[in-house]
Amino acid sequence: MNAIQASCLDLAGVLGIELEFRQPNHEGDLIDIIQREQKNSDALVINPAGLSFHSRLLLDAFWLFPGPIIELNLSNTHDRDEQHCRSIMSGAVTAVVCGLGPYGYVMALLPAARLVTDLPDSLPAALQIGPV
């Protein structure tokens, strides 16, 4: 199990949520997963990587997913060349986390969970509800 997956599974346990972690290597496999999860998952955290800038098929799959989607990019996409500084996915997702490296995965998981369920009372209020 890699470190990112282990960290996400640890956080999911603390949050009391079920997490399914997948890393497909092909665009069609990713789209198939999103389409299947329309009925099975409440939220998605997804790193579209290079597909962020050109995949209209992935964008269409995002539009059809009924729950929140958090787009995750390990690097700061705003600090890239003109062709790769704007993700076409960003307009179809609920939020974007970028530039935090692997730590971005756990940072994206928290709001994804918060958007679909109440977080455990054992967490500080700042994490449960944020500023009021």
CATH at residue 31: 3.40.50.9100
* Residue among 102, 118, 115, 96 nearest 43 (CA): 115
Identify whether 131 is part of a domain: no
Edge to edge, what strands does the sheet with 69-73 contain? 44-46, 69-73, 95-98
pTM above 0.75, yes or no: yes
Identify whether 32 is part of a domain: yes
Tell me how many domains the chain contains: 1
CA torsion 42-70-8-38 (nearest 10°) is: 30
The type of residue at 101 is G
- Structural domain containing residue 49: 3-119
Per-residue pLDDT of the chain in tens (132 residues, 90 and over written 9): 599 999 999 999 999 999 999 989 899 999 999 999 999 999 999 999 888 888 899 999 999 999 999 999 998 777 766 766 678 788 899 999 999 999 999 999 999 999 999 999 999 999 888 887
